[in-house]
Chain A
Amino acid sequence: GQQVQQSPASLVLQEGENAELQCNFSSTATQLQWFYQSPGGSLVSLLSNPSGTKHTGRLTSTTVTKERRSSLHISSSQTTDSGTYLCAIDPSSGSWQLIFGSGTQLTVMP
């Protein structure tokens, strides 16, 4: 079945450092979204990026569709960025049955 692999599994940074999160998937994806999950909390969508590069605030996502990989770059990390970042893909043509990776747990130290 479709697999979504995220790396690293966990990452610890000092405030102000940059973070690079990776997402690899085993077949084509018509949708790719990055979500943020607060510690013990719910998920919120950060951005949708099925191909190319997109920016929002301090976040930059680059997806190379033919290589089946996406990255999420967080610049100038803040303690409030701590949490889990999940990559999710929709392998079908717009079915919205998202398949999630296991996430990267980010801890930003003051």
Chain B
Amino acid sequence: EAAVTQSPRSKVAVTGGKVTLSCHQTNNHDYMYWYRQDTGHGLRLIHYSYVADSTEKGDIPDGYKASRPSQENFSLILELASLSQTAVYFCASSDAPGVSGNTLYFGEGSRLIVV
């Protein structure tokens, strides 16, 4: 069974503080992603990575950094948290594009509240 685990599951941060969201996968997948979901909306891609030590910008990268130190781990970093970054963050992993039956496997989400 595919497994993507996120930590912390919930966090309250102060404006201007640093926040790190962590993601670990045991799927042996090359691709990992960070999405954010705002209440009543779909998911938007922040950053993704297809190989360790390399990250790519998604659709909404401003205000976020990402780090992929190993195939299994992918972190999302908010250097200066802002109120607008209050959201639920989802990590996901997948095989490389073109693999038959490929899909995204999601973690349980990390609820971030910035005050």
Q: Are B103 and A45 in contact (CB under 8 A)?
A: yes
B 36-83 contacts with A by CB, 8 A: 40-45, 48, 58-59
Closest B residue to A48 by beta carbon equals B103
**Interface size range on A against B:** 20 to 34
**Interface size range on B against A:** 20 to 34
> In the assembled complex, which residues on chain A have CB atoms less than 8 Å from the CB atom of B44?
100
> In the assembled complex, which residues on chain A have CB atoms less than 8 Å from the CB atom of B48?
97
Q: Are A42 and B104 in contact (CB under 8 A)?
A: no
Kindly state the separation between the CA atoms of A102 and B42 in the bound complex, as whole angstroms: 4
Closest B residue to A103 by beta carbon equals B42
Q: Are A101 and B42 in contact (CB under 8 A)?
A: yes
Of the candidates B40, B42, B105, B109, the one whose C-beta lies within 8 Å of that of A86 is B42
Kindly state the separation between the CA atoms of A102 and B41 in the bound complex, as whole angstroms: 4
Kindly state the separation between the CA atoms of A78 and B60 in the bound complex, as whole angstroms: 37
Nearest-CB distance from A38 to chain B (Å)? Answer: 10
Closest B residue to A95 by beta carbon equals B97
Contact with A along B78-109 (1 / 0, CB 8 A): 00000000000010101001100111111111
Of the candidates B41, B58, B90, B94, the one whose C-beta lies within 8 Å of that of A43 is B90
Say whether A33 faces chain B, with CB atoms less than 8 Å apart. yes
Kindly state the separation between the CA atoms of A1 and B78 in the bound complex, as whole angstroms: 26
> In the assembled complex, which residues on chain A have CB atoms less than 8 Å from the CB atom of B92?
43
Nearest-CB distance from B8 to chain A (Å)? Answer: 15
- Which residues in A have some Cβ–Cβ distance to B below 8 Å? 4, 33, 35, 41-45, 48, 86, 88, 94-103
The 5 closest A-B pairs by CB, nearest first: A100-B42, A94-B97, A45-B103, A100-B43, A43-B106
- Which residues in B have some Cβ–Cβ distance to A below 8 Å? 31, 35, 40-45, 48, 58-59, 90, 92, 94, 97-98, 101-109
Given contacts A33-B104, A101-B42, 15 further A-B contacts (CB under 8 A): A35-B104, A42-B90, A42-B107, A86-B42, A86-B43, A95-B97, A96-B97, A96-B104, A97-B45, A97-B58, A98-B45, A100-B35, A102-B40, A102-B42, A103-B42
